[in-house]
Amino acid sequence: MTSPAPPVAIRGRVLTFLDDPAITGDAASYRYIEDGLLILENGCIREAGEAGALLATLPPNALVHHYPDALVMAGFIDTHIHYPQTQVIASYGAQLLDWLETYTYVEEQKFSAPDHAARIADFFLGELCRNGTTTAAVYCTVHSESVDAFFAESMRRNMRMIAGKVLMDRNAPPGLLDTAAGGYEESQTLIARWHGQGRQRYAVTPRFALTSTQAQLEAAGALLRANPDVYLQTHLSENPREIEAVRKLFPKARSYTDVYDRFGLLGPRSLFGHCIHLEEAERTRLSETESVAVFCPTSNLFIGSGLFDLHQARDRRFPLRLGLATDMGGGTSYSMLRTAAEAYKVGQLRGQRLPALRAFYMLTLGNARALGLEYQIGTLASGSEADVIVLDARATTAMAHRMETVQGNLKDELFVLMTLGDDRAIRATYVAGTPVLGPAFNASG
Ligand code: GUN
Ligand code: ZN
């Protein structure tokens, strides 16, 4: 008989968020334990607290992974990313519609081949783990094969992922088109196969208004009605030429947002990528329906789409639920640290501030709330799933050098991490309690 695996605990400087610092003020928004311990059990956090008190409760055979000086946080969450675009990232010289045609649609056609999709899914999820991202809302391609490959790899890694087959039945190359009825059937089959399997969740994924007919958007609404606990993800109001083209294709709609609204696609489980150029009436509807606006700063800058207005999103009259995301491959990094850095710079260009504490709230609990998953992920509360990362603010020579002048101030340390950090600052990643990156992973291999 094999003896049960010894319990595992993670010791370090534990930081977890309790609420949005922009709402509660800084002090009430987080819990920080200078010498903290997380005791893991069955993929979850059994207990979190002071190491001094908790160490004494561990059995003698417990394994304590100790990261002195490092910050232990909940894994990052990326609320909008495209796994078929790992070889589109860093494509030169185009804005949205040309970028899609010249680069993106070319690569996405390759995902009809299951072995290509499987290879890229493996690369993509590995890259997320290296960057400390443990959950993401992911676009696949129009091919069911791409969804099967993605979820199979995510299941194998036991990651909590949200993903879906892209629906597009017009204005794209023939190799990327489905039909309203076919897209519905395939999505329904994929929902039955994957939604709720282990940690996997499905998102109905009409790409954007330009690539779906009315019949297809109607079918997307029908999928949501038939499967009330799945997500919806799409793009909204990213680029002025896109918005003009939507106006022409849907002349009866009052706005871009209204196109989706007419088909019942707004709601608390609906994620709208970009939302840069919204009119007040659109923001009102998104707010009323508790839809989520997802800010993708590296993408918005790289594709030249515009500057998201973080302050306007918090307008007291109609506040928006918010997500923060990479949008890789329109976005230029897999790293949520790089993403936070660019969000800060977009704020600078608008005369707005994004404090480090709020940025790290957004990467963790904020994005968990955007996905309605705050009781599963995004914090280190006992009972949460043990998706945990370990951050090193001295990971590079430049960071270590800068940290010489940060004397024990947590907010300054976080700002160094988000401004200078990237994958090199992720010292360890745990997925459902299992190390997938860092010394404990290397030792287990
Ligand atoms: N709009 C429609 N498709 C896409 C996409 O793949 N990336 C971005 N950034 N915007 C889109
Ligand atoms: Zn996108």
Residues with Cβ within 8 Å of 107's Cβ and at least 6 positions away in sequence, in order, are 84, 85, 87, 88
Peptide bond into 329 cis (omega under 30): yes
- Centroid of ligand 2 to alpha carbon of 273 (angstroms): 6
- Ligand 1, atom 3: nearest CA belongs to which residue? 207
Q: Which ligand is nearest to the CA of 108?
A: 1
Q: pLDDT per position in the chain (445 positions), as tens?
A: 566 788 999 999 999 999 999 999 999 999 999 999 999 999 999 999 999 999 999 999 999 999 999 999 999 999 999 999 999 999 999 999 999 999 999 999 999 999 999 999 999 999 999 999 999 999 999 999 999 999 999 999 999 999 999 999 999 999 999 999 999 999 999 999 999 999 999 999 999 999 999 999 999 999 999 999 999 999 999 999 999 999 999 999 999 999 999 999 999 999 999 999 999 999 999 999 999 999 999 999 999 999 999 999 999 999 999 999 999 999 999 999 999 999 999 999 999 999 999 999 999 999 999 999 999 999 999 999 999 999 999 999 999 999 999 989 999 999 999 999 999 999 999 999 999 999 999 998 7
Mutational test site, ligand 1, from 105, 168, 207, 236, max ligand atoms within 8 Å of CB: 207
Q: Ligand 1 atom closest to Cα of 235?
A: 1
Residue 315: closest CA among 348, 282, 341: 282
Residue 226: closest CA among 281, 259, 264, 273: 264
Q: How many CB atoms lie within 10 A of CB 284?
A: 16
Q: How many CB atoms lie within 10 A of CB 31?
A: 16
Residues with Cβ within 8 Å of 293's Cβ and at least 6 positions away in sequence, in order, are 236, 272, 275, 278, 286, 313, 320, 321, 322, 323
- The burial class, CB within 10 Å (0-12 / 13-18 / 19+), for 118 is middle
Q: Ligand 1 atom closest to Cα of 327?
A: 9
The dihedral over CA atoms of 402, 408, 414, 420, expressed in degrees to the nearest 10, equals 10
- Centroid of ligand 2 to alpha carbon of 64 (angstroms): 40
Instruction: Tell me how many helices (H) and strands (E) the chain has.
Output: 19, 16
pLDDT for the residue numbered 442: 94
- Centroid of ligand 2 to alpha carbon of 161 (angstroms): 16
303-327: per-residue pLDDT in tens?
999 999 999 999 999 999 999 999 9
Residues with Cβ within 8 Å of 204's Cβ and at least 6 positions away in sequence, in order, are 164, 167, 187, 220, 223, 224, 227, 230, 231, 232, 233
Alpha-carbon radius of gyration of the chain: 21
Which runs of consecutive H residues, i.e. helices, occur in 272-409? 280-288, 297-302, 310-313, 336-349, 356-361, 367-370, 397-403
- Ligand 1, atom 1: nearest CA belongs to which residue? 235
Q: How far apart are CA 423 and CA 437, in angstroms?
A: 11
Q: Ligand 1 atom closest to Cα of 139?
A: 6
Q: How far apart are CA 323 and CA 367, in angstroms?
A: 5
- Centroid of ligand 2 to alpha carbon of 17 (angstroms): 27
- The burial class, CB within 10 Å (0-12 / 13-18 / 19+), for 51 is buried
The dihedral over CA atoms of 301, 335, 411, 31, expressed in degrees to the nearest 10, equals 130
Q: How far apart are CA 32 and CA 17, in angstroms?
A: 9
pLDDT for the residue numbered 280: 97
Q: Ligand 1 atom closest to Cα of 305?
A: 9
The dihedral over CA atoms of 426, 427, 432, 434, expressed in degrees to the nearest 10, equals 150
- Ligand 1, atom 9: nearest CA belongs to which residue? 330
Residues touching ligand 1 (Cβ under 6 Å) are 82, 96, 100, 104, 207-208, 235, 238, 299, 327, 330
Angle between helices 114-130 and 144-156 (to 10 degrees): 40
Residues with CB in 5 Å of ion ligand 2: 273, 327
Q: Which stretch of DSSP H or E encloses residue 216?
A: helix 214-226
Asked if 296 and 333 count as a contact pair (C-beta separation under 8 A), the reply is no
Angle between helices 144-156 and 180-194 (to 10 degrees): 10
Q: Ligand 1 atom closest to Cα of 331?
A: 9
pLDDT for the residue numbered 2: 64
Read off the tokens for 323: 């997500």
